[in-house]
């Protein structure tokens, strides 16, 4: 805290024609000069405090801008990886990954002449092989057979012999009594392995997500209650970026999510809690598309929360800086002129202004008879001490 400065009320020495002192002038004493020095020091201290505050504010703003640029680069990096090698897969109009983006082992079938050739292949789980002559297999009497490698052994899934069997309608068991079968429905209790999420629960979940996103995106009145301390990032934890496992399990409380990690979390949740409903037609294709859209909207929300580029239009008043003006720093010429009221001063500019104007102002005191006491013979204002001074001479060093 800078102490209050009380200026001295200086008075001239007034003498009438007879030499009588009408008004005694203010003496040029150490106390009065020290009072002037304290005033100058107080001004210098105040300028230092203002500059320190401005430097801290500028640094905070630069840090915020740097983090916003990093977030923007991360989003661009994710967008550039969509449908690219070693990047992110995209969904087709049916909500499924297109075949062109599937691994070759899921799209291709190997064709070999016999069982021996099959056994020479490099195996991997889900490898499909069509053996043209599978008679080396004891279960195949003639013709071809198709196999799938389950990770340990080949499992036969079809053979040419079975296609030669002719079945009559009377030989088919457990067939419907009416053909085509009439439309019918099943209760939840009649379906095994059904997740415990009903259509109504899914619809309520999607409605809640839509309302949450709409309300949040429409709120431009600083919904996160940003303060000037929070803009300074004083309370931001030094957490690392969550791994994919942490994001998908939701078990970490000391890491941050990126847009990629947020997308992985949402996709994992959807796969574990919603996607299985579509396998047996429990949810229609329209509802599945709506659900996919909601998941993407949730990912947008995480990206929005990670956006540090002032997405809500926060103003300086909302962070407690409504009185701070957007002024530039004065140049040396402007500081020495002292005529502008729309610029900020730095310590060096104050020092330059004092160095420019104080010597000129004090030069008028040189040998001024109004300041000469009866014991002083001479007043000198200069940067160096006068040569051969007399007793009681006064030297004002500039």
- Domains in the chain: boundaries: 103-171
Looking at residue 78, its pLDDT comes to 73
DSSP state of 181: P
Backbone angles phi, psi at 110, to 5 degrees: -85, 140
pLDDT digits 0-9 by tens, 23-50: 888 887 788 788 878 878 888 888 888 8
Q: Which residues of 269-307 are buried (b: 16+ CB within 10 A; e: fewer)?
A: ebeeebbbbbeeebbeeebbebbbebbebbbebbbeebe
Strand partners, 114: 133
User: Per the structure block, which two tokens stand in for 141?
Assistant: 């009497």
Confidence of residue 269 (pLDDT cuts 50, 70, 90): low
Cis peptide, bond prior to residue 180, ω within 30 of zero: yes
The average pLDDT across 41-69 equals 86
Q: How many beta carbons lie within 10 A of that of residue 345, not counting itself?
A: 22
pLDDT digits 0-9 by tens, 120-166: 998 888 889 999 999 999 988 888 999 999 889 999 988 887 655 56
Number of H helices, E strands in the chain: 10, 12
Looking at residue 275, its pLDDT comes to 44
pLDDT digits 0-9 by tens, 165-218: 566 777 777 777 776 667 777 777 777 776 666 778 788 888 888 888 888 778
Looking at residue 280, its pLDDT comes to 45
Q: Report whether pLDDT(342) > 60.
A: yes
Contact between residue 318 and residue 226 where contact means Cβ atoms under 8 Å apart? yes
DSSP state of 383: S
More confident residue, 380 or 160: 160
Between the alpha carbon of residue 371 and those of residues 9, 32, 378, the distances in Å are 14, 13, 10
**Kind and range of the H or E run holding 208:** helix 199-217
pLDDT digits 0-9 by tens, 290-312: 666 666 666 677 677 667 777 77
pTM score: 0.26
Looking at residue 286, its pLDDT comes to 62
Q: Report whether pLDDT(62) > 80.
A: yes
Rounded CA-CA distance 324/299 in Å is 37
Three-class SS state of 131: strand
């Amino acid at each position: 805290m800078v102490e209050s400065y009380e200026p001295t009320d200086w008075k001239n020495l007034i003498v009438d024609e007879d030499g009588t002192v009408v008004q005694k002038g203010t003496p040029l004493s150490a106390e009065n000069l020290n009072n002037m020095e304290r005033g100058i020091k107080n001004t210098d201290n105040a300028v230092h405090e203002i500059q320190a505050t401005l430097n801290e504010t500028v640094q905070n703003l630069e840090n915020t801008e740097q983090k916003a640029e990093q977030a923007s680069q991360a989003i661009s990096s994710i967008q550039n990886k969509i449908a690219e090698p070693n990047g992110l897969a995209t969904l087709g109009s049916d909500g499924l990954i297109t075949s062109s983006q599937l691994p070759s082992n899921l799209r291709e079938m190997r064709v070999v002449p016999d069982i021996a050739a099959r056994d020479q292949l490099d195996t991997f789980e889900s490898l499909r092989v069509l053996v043209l002559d599978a008679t080396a297999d004891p279960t195949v009497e003639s013709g071809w057979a198709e196999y799938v490698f389950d990770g340990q052994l080949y499992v036969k899934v079809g053979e040419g012999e079975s296609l030669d069997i002719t079945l009559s309608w009377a030989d088919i068991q457990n067939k419907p009594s009416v053909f085509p079968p009439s439309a019918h429905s099943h209760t939840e209790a009649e379906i095994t392995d059904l997740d415990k999420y009903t259509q109504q629960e899914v619809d309520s979940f999607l409605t809640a997500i839509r309302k949450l996103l709409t309300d949040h995106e429409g709120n431009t009145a600083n919904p996160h209650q940003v303060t000037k301390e929070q803009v300074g990032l004083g309370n931001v934890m030094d957490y690392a970026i969550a791994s994919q496992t942490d994001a998908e399990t939701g078990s970490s409380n000391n890491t941050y999510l990126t847009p990629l990690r947020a997308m992985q979390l949402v996709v994992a949740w959807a796969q574990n809690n919603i996607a299985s409903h579509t396998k047996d037609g429990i949810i229609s294709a329209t509802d599945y598309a709506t659900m996919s859209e909601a998941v993407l909207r949730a990912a947008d929300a995480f990206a929005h929360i990670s956006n540090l580029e002032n997405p809500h239009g926060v103003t300086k008043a909302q962070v407690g800086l409504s009185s701070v003006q957007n002024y530039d720093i004065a140049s040396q010429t402007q500081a020495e002129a002292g005529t502008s009221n729309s610029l900020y001063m730095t310590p060096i500019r104050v020092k330059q202004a004092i160095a420019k104007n104080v010597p000129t102002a004090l030069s008028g005191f040189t040998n001024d008879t109004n300041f000469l006491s009866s014991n002083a013979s001479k007043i000198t204002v200069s940067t160096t001490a006068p040569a051969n001074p007399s007793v009681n001479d006064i030297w004002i060093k500039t």
